[in-house]
Structure 1
Amino acid sequence: MKILHTADWHIGKKLHKHDLSKDFELFIHWLSGTIEKEKVDVLLVSGDVFDLANPSSEGRKQYYKALMELRKLDCKIILTGGNHDSPGMLDAPREILRELDMHVIGGLPENLEDVIIPITDKDGKPALVIAALPYLRDSDLRGAKDGYTYDDRLEAIRRGIQGIFAQAADICQKQYPALPALAMGHLFAAGSETSESERDIQIGNQAAFNALQFGEYFSYIALGHIHKPQKVSAAVPTYYSGSPLQLSFSERKDNKRVLLIDPENGWIPESIPVPSFRKLLKISGTVEELHFKLDALETHQNLDSLIEVELKEENYDATKIYLLDELVTNFKTPGFEIVKHRATFKNQVKSAGDLYKNSQQLEDLKPKEVFSKLVDEHQYDQETRNELLAAFDELLEEVENSETEEK
């Protein structure tokens, strides 16, 4: 009985507006070959199937196409929802998919027994049991909002997560006492290394869950949410498979993988590297250095390489920003695409926030002023800055309108 653990597919993901659908298509084709080669019996996908809660029609089509390609293999599929996923959207075709030996748990069901999935071997004999727990939202964590202080609420969330995993373990132990049990989860474990492509979980990552609270019952815990592949310090083997694709430039050096568990050889998984379908490159330097490095790029046969360009100069110079924009606009090397560029200056002119931070108190500022100061702390280009401020205005208007309606 072999189990393969993956997570964080993020179907529909765009990296700085660049579509990654071709990357995912190549990954699924590789995954199918790996499952067939390794004779995998169970595929676990631990959350964040989609990048958006309301994915596009193209994203949904790619999801079902991937499931159908995997369905051709003699492999049971168990898939759970993550914080990016809509529980309702994932759960909608659940009954149909179950007939195809695919179990989808989009959100935590009212009856916790519904997440307990027994697995039989080729002879139809019970072999193991999976506690397929999805991302746990505040509404799932009874009493998570209890407490008077911020720290009280965080501790309540952690106790809620611990309680649900303990209940799942208790059900497995009572209903399948002779079988080894695995758990799936989508959460932030304390001490995990994150990347810039991950959104905060629960009340920010400050609600990090101590993996020792998983207990000692489960033989293996298959986690999702953190894109950097890593082992978690826990009482039992607990791992993030990581995302199979590079979803941000901060992940460009990650060794992407899936994890293969063969209980006959123990519960420590074997790491199987996922091929790199495209390169993410970060190029920095002065205007002259950028020209040289971009001209020196070598052609390749994979998908187009995506490039982040950072201009680094000692002193602020508006002319250098113009030259950077011109360089990016005129860059036409086949097989490469610049998807992000920015300028940083060591001797940056002080922002308004720096000039007034010692003379103004937070309570004296309006929300828009506070947000503007935060934006000023980053080196955003003008278009991005305008988009951020416009988005903030929309959110602020919604909040003010809702408060008016409540009155």
Structure 2
Amino acid sequence: MRILHTSDWHIGRSFHGNSTLPAIAQVLDALVQHVRSQQVDVVAVAGDVFDTTTPSVEAYETLSQALARLRDAGARVVLTSGNHDSATRLGFQSQFAALGGIHVITRADRADRPVTIDDEHGPVHFYGIPYTEPILLRREFPDCAARSHAEALDFLMQRVRRDLSERGGRSVALAHCFAVAFRHDEQDAAESIGRADAGSASAVRRSEEQTVGLERDITSGGLDLVPVQVFDGPDYVALGHLHGRSTLSPRVRYSGAPLHYSFSEGFKPRGAWLVELGAAGLQEVTWLDLPVPRRLSTLEASLDELMQGPEYADHEGDWVSAVLTDEVRPIDAMRKLQQRFPHCARVDHRPARIAPDDARRYGDRVQAKSDPELIDGFLRHVRNGVGATDFELEVLNDVLESLTAREATA
């Protein structure tokens, strides 16, 4: 059986005020082409299908068209909800959709009721675990004492393993969380405290270093790490939530988002995992690239260099984050940059030269004998040691002379 693992479509998300619907539709079309060319049997979508709990009509239409094309390409679809989705809205008419080969799993009480799909080697059971807050899980299951997302997933995975032991056969699990591969010493420390998110600081740091700029916090209480051992049992575990691809073990992986949603993700590849199950279980996992509709580039230079430098010509069609190194913040920089880079979306100012620290009080630093000198001293204080330019001094002198003349005739 061939399975395409994808996640975090975030349909409806904006990028610095710009709609991403045309871009995600283009990428999902490419995903359909992979399904067709690779003869994929099942597409597994591990949560965050939408970006908001109240998706627009256009977002629903984009999803409906993508699912219809995936089915037309010959694949069944197993889809779960993430922390961005509304489980109720996403799961609406799920029973009806299942008749057409689109299996939407948004209820925790169905996590141990798999979607079973047969191939030439027998059944493969797909267990979808939707994102569920621990407090809601405790209300639904009286025997559940979960206080963290890790404990909630552990509770549900125990139910999955019990069901799998009775059914037998191969299996795939889908989940939406922040999973981490603890080292043995870190796992022992976490278990001794009784909380999976209490691993050593080094485990947390390693996880954060691997996921800089991604969505790390999916609980109201803060970072909640899930040890990869929670997912023992299935032949393959398709994870969602982190926007960069990651391999926690040969059988536990993140596919990442199919589209770049922030400049911090710009260097990360976009794609999906092609998972092949043989008669004995996991056989091979291959990365399939997806197109990037518009590159994301961070350019650092002075405004004049960015506007005139020929080395930046290749970035004129990119989404651009400009880091300006001018000593003084340029006026109207965004409008000027968009004359060359129409898709410039962000401008930061980081002066190349930083004035040395001055421990003197502000009053001592701006001591002056004349008003122009006083203003020049203030500008040096607020502009990283850069005083008034010749043009500014000329304007200041004209204004001060006019005020002096007005006061003299009052």
For Structure 1 versus Structure 2, the TM-score category normalised by the shorter chain is 0.7 to 0.9
The separation in 2 between residues aligned to 1:14 and 1:136, in whole angstroms, is 25
1:139 corresponding residue in structure 2: 135
Corresponding residue number in structure 1 for 2:254: 240
Q: How far apart in 1 are the matches of 2:99 and 2:269? A: 35
Q: Is the 8 A contact 1:78 1:102 kept in 2?
A: yes
What is the aligned partner in structure 2 of residue 231 from structure 1?
247
Deviation (angstroms), 1:87: 0.3
How many Å separate the matches in 1 of 2:15 and 2:292?
16
Q: Is the 8 A contact 2:177 2:241 kept in 1?
A: yes
In 1, the alpha carbon distance for the partners of 2:222 and 2:309 equals 37
Q: 2:50, 2:84 within 8 Å by CA — same for their partners in 1?
A: yes
CA contact (8 A) 1:46 1:184 kept: yes
2:132 partner SS: coil
Displacement after TM superposition at 1:58 (Å): 1.1
Q: Provide the residue aligned with 1:150 in structure 2.
A: none
Q: Which residue of 2 aligns with 1:279?
A: 295
Relative to structure 1, the CA distance from residue 294 to residue 63 in structure 2 (aligned partners, 3 Å threshold; closer, same or farther) is farther
Work out which of the residue numbers 170, 190, 195 in structure 2 matches 1:180: 170
TM-aligned CA distance change 1:165 to 1:348, over 3 Å: farther
Structure 2 counterpart of 1:34, one-letter code: H
Q: Which residue does 1:118 correspond to in 2?
A: 116
- Determine which of 318, 336, 350 is the counterpart of 1:344: 350
- The residue aligned with 2:334 is 328
Structure 2 portions without partners, runs of 5+: 181-205, 363-410
Equivalent pair of 2:46/2:81 in contact (CA under 8 Å): yes
CA RMSD of aligned residues (A): 2.9
Task: Answer yes or no: is 1:161 the counterpart of 2:153.
Answer: yes
Aligned residue for 1:262, secondary structure, equals strand
Q: Distance in 2 between matches of 1:155 and 1:95?
A: 31
Q: TM-score by structure 1 length? A: 0.73
* Structure 2 residue 244 is matched with structure 1 residue 222: no
Q: What is residue 307 of structure 1 aligned with on the other side?
A: 320
1:257 maps to 271
Deviations 1:21-73 (A, max 9, x none): 11111112111111011110000000000111111111111111111121212
Aligned to 1:170: 162
Letter aligned with residue 289 of structure 1: E
* Corresponding residue SS for 1:142: helix
Against the structure 1 CA distance between its residues 112 and 278, is the aligned structure 2 distance closer, same or farther, given a 3 Å change threshold?
closer
Instruction: Say yes or no: does 1:86 pair with 2:76.
Output: no
Give the residue type in structure 2 aligned to 1:196: G
What CA deviation, in whole Å up to 9, does each residue of 1:152-204 have, x standing for no partner? Answer: x9975422221211211211221x21x11111110001354324352611245
Query: How far has the Cα of 1:218 moved from its partner?
Result: 1.0
What TM-score do you get using the length of structure 2 for normalisation?
0.72
Shift of 1:288: 3.0
Q: Distance in 1 between matches of 2:315 and 2:325?
A: 26
1:31 is paired with a residue of what secondary structure?
A: helix
2:314 aligned partner = 298
- Post-superposition offset of 1:140: 4.1
Preserved contact between residue 228 and residue 248 of structure 2 (Cα < 8 Å): yes
1:119 Cα deviation (Å)? 0.8
Paired residues of 2:235 and 2:282 also in contact (CA < 8 A)? no
Match in the other structure for 2:125: 129
Question: Aligned partner of 1:184: which letter?
Answer: L
Match of 2:378 in 1: none
Contact 1:46 1:80 in 2 (8 A): yes
8 Å Cα contact 1:13-1:51 kept in structure 2: yes
C-alpha deviations, 1:322-366, integer Å up to 9, x for none? x2x42321344577411111213464899xxxx9xxxxxxxxxxx
Quote the sequence identity (%).
25
Query: Would you say the 8 A contact 1:283–1:293 is kept in 2?
Result: no
Matched letter for residue 44 of structure 2: L
Unaligned runs of 5+ in 1: 145-152, 356-407
Residue 206 of structure 1: how far off its partner (Å): 2.5
Where 2:104 maps in the other structure, the secondary structure is: strand
The verdict on how the C-alpha distance between 1:347 and 1:168 changes in structure 2, with shifts beyond 3 A counting, is: same
Q: Secondary structure at the match of 2:179?
A: coil
User: Per-residue deviation at 1:227?
Assistant: 0.5
Cα 1:328–1:334 shift into 2, 3 Å:
closer
Cα distance change on mapping 1:4 and 1:278 into 2, 3 Å:
same
Change (3 A) 1:195 1:16: farther
* Residues 289 and 101 of structure 1, relative CA distance in 2, 3 Å threshold: same
2:399 is aligned to none
Query: Which AA in structure 2 matches 1:137?
Result: E
Of 177, 202, 217 in structure 2, the residue corresponding to residue 200 of structure 1 is 217
Partner of 2:274, secondary structure, is strand
> Are the counterparts in 2 of residues 219 and 267 from structure 1 also a CA contact under 8 Å?
no
The one-letter amino acid paired with 1:86 is: S
- Post-superposition CA distance 1:215-248 (Å, at most 9, x none): 2x11111000000101014xx6100011111111
SS at match of 1:206: coil
Is residue 196–residue 250 contact of structure 1 (8 Å, CA) maintained in 2? yes
Partner Cα distance (1:227, 1:307) in 2 = 20
Separation in 2, partners of 1:206, 1:113: 26
Q: Which moved more, 1:59-68 or 1:4-13?
A: 59-68
Tell me how far 1:292 sits from its aligned partner.
3.3
Which structure has the bigger radius of gyration?
2
For residues 219 and 248 of structure 2, the distance between their equivalents in structure 1, rounded to whole angstroms, comes to 19
- The one-letter code of the counterpart of 2:218 is I
Question: Which position in structure 1 is the counterpart of 2:388?
Answer: none
Q: How many angstroms apart in 2 are the aligned matches of 1:213 and 1:276? A: 34
Q: Which residue does 1:363 correspond to in 2?
A: none
